[in-house]
């Protein structure tokens, strides 16, 4: 299996160029469903240890159904197929540029949640114009054992988020273990309370937001991903959901650029435009760097061929 690894603000992406499962033709949503239902062992084997690493997201390239798109891509982590992935889109664009398969300028990429636009500014810098994002519930309360009542917003940015502001624990690198444990508990409470999308879509990510640590930084976040690891980047889909909440609260005007940092300090530049359906069209700018060009080998004799991470 031919893969190229990159990182976006410290968050790894593994682009699968060849050797992935045959998902057939048709709408990319159907192919994403087939990946989730029929090939969970593939997702684990590519991303879990010993072959992968914590936090890594896979980007499986597929033929786009929309012929105006440069590529189709299905993102996944070791535990779940994702609707979209902002850091993964940036990483995928930089990867394809490194192979001379994507030129600087604007392109369209088809994902399971819709077509996103990217602008490749140079070899490492990409702006993602995401699908329309929205807040669907404000000020929802959940009871978390040991913490009491936690209040947050439910929002969509390509995935489903429960956004808590301010964070119950200070967002900083020294607190990552505690932030992770608390976020897992909050997500469990949100799921138990039935929070999610309008059509019953479950919460898959949790965001803890704090103010920026310097005058030029608007805010800092901690983001829990579906596989219970944290996002080293500020999370593109999470930042999209966050922009929807800021817009709904009239705390940020359209086209106003802010800097959002992750728990480890990596930045995205964010802004939005008003969307046609009452939400926002987010713009996320970040940088990625290629780390490895590899061939993954799978042996039938290897008892850990499908991953050894619990």
- Please identify every residue annotated as catalytic: 85, 235
Chain position carrying tokens 């995928």 = 92
Residue 199, C-beta contacts closer than 8 angstroms, at least 6 positions apart: none
Among 29, 208, 243, residue whose Cα is nearest residue 134:
243
Q: Rounded to the nearest 10 degrees, how much is the dihedral formed by the CA atoms of 130, 136, 142, 147?
A: 40
Residue 36, C-beta contacts closer than 8 angstroms, at least 6 positions apart: 76, 80, 81
Tell me how far the alpha carbon of residue 232 is from its chain's centroid: 11
**Cα–Cα distance, 273 to 109 (Å, whole number):** 19
Going 80 to 63 to 306 to 296, the CA torsion angle's sign is negative
């Amino acid at each position: 299996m031919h893969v190229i690894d990159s990182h976006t603000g410290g968050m790894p992406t593994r682009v699968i160029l060849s050797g992935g499962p045959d998902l057939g033709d048709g709408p990319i949503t159907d192919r994403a469903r087939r990946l989730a239902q029929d090939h969970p062992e593939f997702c684990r084997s590519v991303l879990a240890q010993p072959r992968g690493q914590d936090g890594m997201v896979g980007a499986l390239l597929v033929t786009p159904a929309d012929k105006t798109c440069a590529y189709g891509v299905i993102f996944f982590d070791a535990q779940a197929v994702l609707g979209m992935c902002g850091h993964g889109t940036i990483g995928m664009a930089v990867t394809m540029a490194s192979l001379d398969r994507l030129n600087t300028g604007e392109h369209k990429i088809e994902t399971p949640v819709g077509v996103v636009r990217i602008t490749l500014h140079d070899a490492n810098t990409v702006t993602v114009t995401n699908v329309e994002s929205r807040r669907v519930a404000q000020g929802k309360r959940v009871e978390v054992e040991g913490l009491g009542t936690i209040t947050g917003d439910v929002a969509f940015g390509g995935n489903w988020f429960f956004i808590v502001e301010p964070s119950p624990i200070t967002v900083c690198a020294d607190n990552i273990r505690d932030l992770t444990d608390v976020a897992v508990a909050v997500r469990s409470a949100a799921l138990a309370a039935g929070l999610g999308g309008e059509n019953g879509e479950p919460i898959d990510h949790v965001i803890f937001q704090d103010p920026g640590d310097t005058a030029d930084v608007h805010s800092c976040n901690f983001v829990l991903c579906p596989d219970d690891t944290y996002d080293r980047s500020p999370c593109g889909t999470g930042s999209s959901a966050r922009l929807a909440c800021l817009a709904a609260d009239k705390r940020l005007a359209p086209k106003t650029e802010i800097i959002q940092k992750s728990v480890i300090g990596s930045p995205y530049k964010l802004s939005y435009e008003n969307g046609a359906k009452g939400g926002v069209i987010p713009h996320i700018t970040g940088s990625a760097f290629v780390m490895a060009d590899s061939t993954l080998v799978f042996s039938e004799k290897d008892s850990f061929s499908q991953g050894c991470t619990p």
